[in-house]
Chain A
Amino acid sequence: MGSRPIGGRLALTRRRGGARFRVGSAPPMQPLATPPSDAPALALSDELAVALYEQMVLARALDERLVALQREGAITQHASAVGEEATVVGAVAAMHDEDWVFPSSREFAAALWRGMPLAAYAHHVFGTARDAGQGRNAPDPPFWKAARVASVSPLSGTHIPHAVGVAWAARVRKVDVAALVFFGEGATSSGDFHTGLNFAGVSRAPVVALCRNNGWATSTPASRQTASDGFAVKAVAYGLRGVRVDGGDVVAVLSAVREARARAAAGQGGTLVEAVIAGIDRVDPVARMRAQLESRGLWGADREQQLLGEVRADVERAVGEAQAGKPPARESLFDDVYAELPAYLREQRDQRDTG
Chain B
Amino acid sequence: MTQMNMVQAINDGLRQEMRRDDRVVVLGEDVGKVGGVFRVTQGLWDEFGDDRVVDTPLSEGGIIGTAIGMALFGLLPVPEIQFADFIYPAYDQIVSELAKLRWRSGGEYPAKMVVRTPVGGGIRGGLYHSQSPESLFIHVAGLKVVCPSNPHDAKGLLLASIRDPDPVLFFEPKRIYRAAKGEVPEGDYTVPLGKAAVVREGKDVTLLAWGAMLYEAVAAADEAKKQGIDCEIVDLRTLWPVDVDAIVASVKKTGRVVVVHEAPKTCGFGAELVALVNEKAFLHLEAPPARVCGWDTPFPYTLEMDYLPLAHRILPAIVETARY
**Which A residues are within 8 Å of any B CB, using their own CB?**
100, 131-134, 136-137, 143, 145, 150-151, 153, 155, 158-170, 172-173, 177, 179, 191-192, 195-196, 198-199, 202-203, 335-340, 342-344
Complex contact A161–B70 (CB within 8 A):
no
**A342 contacts which chain B residues (CB < 8 A)?**
194, 241
Q: Which of B107-115, B146-154, B224-232 has 4 or more CB atoms under 8 Å from chain A?
A: B107-115
Number of residues on chain B facing chain A (CB within 8 A): 45
Complex contact B61–A161 (CB within 8 A):
yes
Q: How far is the CB of A3 from chain B (nearest CB, A)?
A: 14
CA distance A172 to B70 in the complex (A): 10
A-B contact count (CB 8 A): 143
Q: Can you list 21 A-B pairs, Cβ within 8 angstroms, ordered by A? A: A134-B106, A136-B103, A143-B108, A151-B101, A153-B100, A155-B92, A155-B97, A161-B68, A162-B65, A163-B69, A164-B66, A165-B70, A165-B71, A165-B73, A172-B25, A177-B73, A196-B62, A199-B66, A339-B166, A340-B165, A344-B241
Complex contact A199–B107 (CB within 8 A):
no
Find the residue from B66, B67, B71, B103 having the highest chain A CB count within 10 A.
Answer: B66
**CB interface residues, B 84-108, toward A, < 8 Å:** 89, 92-93, 96-97, 100-108
Q: A151-B108, A338-B102 are in contact. Are A162 and B92 (CB under 8 A)?
A: no
Complex contact B93–A158 (CB within 8 A):
yes
* Known interface pairs A132-B105, A136-B104; 16 further A-B residue pairs with C-beta atoms within 8 A, sorted by A's residue number: A132-B106, A134-B106, A143-B108, A143-B109, A145-B105, A153-B97, A155-B92, A163-B69, A164-B66, A165-B70, A173-B75, A199-B57, A335-B107, A336-B102, A338-B165, A342-B241
Complex contact A339–B165 (CB within 8 A):
yes
Q: How far is the CB of B51 from chain A (nearest CB, A)?
A: 5
Complex contact B73–A166 (CB within 8 A):
yes
Question: In chain B, what residue has the closest Cβ to A161?
Answer: B65
**B59 contacts which chain A residues (CB < 8 A)?**
195, 198-199
**B74 contacts which chain A residues (CB < 8 A)?**
169
The reply on B135 being an interface residue by CB < 8 A is: no
Find the residue from B57, B73, B166, B241 having the highest chain A CB count within 10 A.
Answer: B73
**A143 contacts which chain B residues (CB < 8 A)?**
105, 108-109
CA distance A198 to B96 in the complex (A): 21
CA distance A189 to B114 in the complex (A): 29
Q: How far is the CB of A197 from chain B (nearest CB, A)?
A: 10
Q: A136-B103, A342-B241 are in contact. Are A169 and B65 (CB under 8 A)?
A: no
Q: How far is the CB of B189 from chain A (nearest CB, A)?
A: 21
**B89 contacts which chain A residues (CB < 8 A)?**
191
Find the residue from A131, A167, A169, A343 having the highest chain B CB count within 10 A.
Answer: A169
Question: In chain A, what residue has the closest Cβ to B54?
Answer: A203
Partner of A337, one of B56, B66, B108, B142: B142
Question: In chain B, what residue has the closest Cβ to A181?
Answer: B69
CA distance A162 to B103 in the complex (A): 17
Complex contact A133–B104 (CB within 8 A):
yes
**B70 contacts which chain A residues (CB < 8 A)?**
165-166, 168-169
Complex contact B244–A196 (CB within 8 A):
no
**B37 contacts which chain A residues (CB < 8 A)?**
none
Question: In chain B, what residue has the closest Cβ to A177?
Answer: B73
**CB interface residues, B 245-279, toward A, < 8 Å:** none
CA distance A203 to B144 in the complex (A): 29
CA distance A176 to B69 in the complex (A): 16
Q: How far is the CB of B110 from chain A (nearest CB, A)?
A: 7
Complex contact B241–A343 (CB within 8 A):
yes
Complex contact A168–B69 (CB within 8 A):
yes
**B68 contacts which chain A residues (CB < 8 A)?**
161-162, 165
Closest 6 CB pairs of A and B: A165-B69, A161-B65, A165-B66, A339-B165, A169-B73, A195-B62
Question: In chain B, what residue has the closest Cβ to A152?
Answer: B97
The reply on B141 being an interface residue by CB < 8 A is: yes
Q: A158-B96, A172-B25 are in contact. Are A336 and B241 (CB under 8 A)?
A: no
Partner of B62, one of A179, A199, A339: A199
Q: A153-B104, A337-B103 are in contact. Are A145 and B69 (CB under 8 A)?
A: no
Find the residue from B52, B65, B144 having the highest chain A CB count within 10 A.
Answer: B65
Complex contact B69–A172 (CB within 8 A):
no
Complex contact A195–B65 (CB within 8 A):
yes
**CB interface residues, B 128-166, toward A, < 8 Å:** 141-142, 144, 164-166
Complex contact A133–B105 (CB within 8 A):
yes
CA distance A301 to B102 in the complex (A): 47
CA distance A330 to B66 in the complex (A): 34
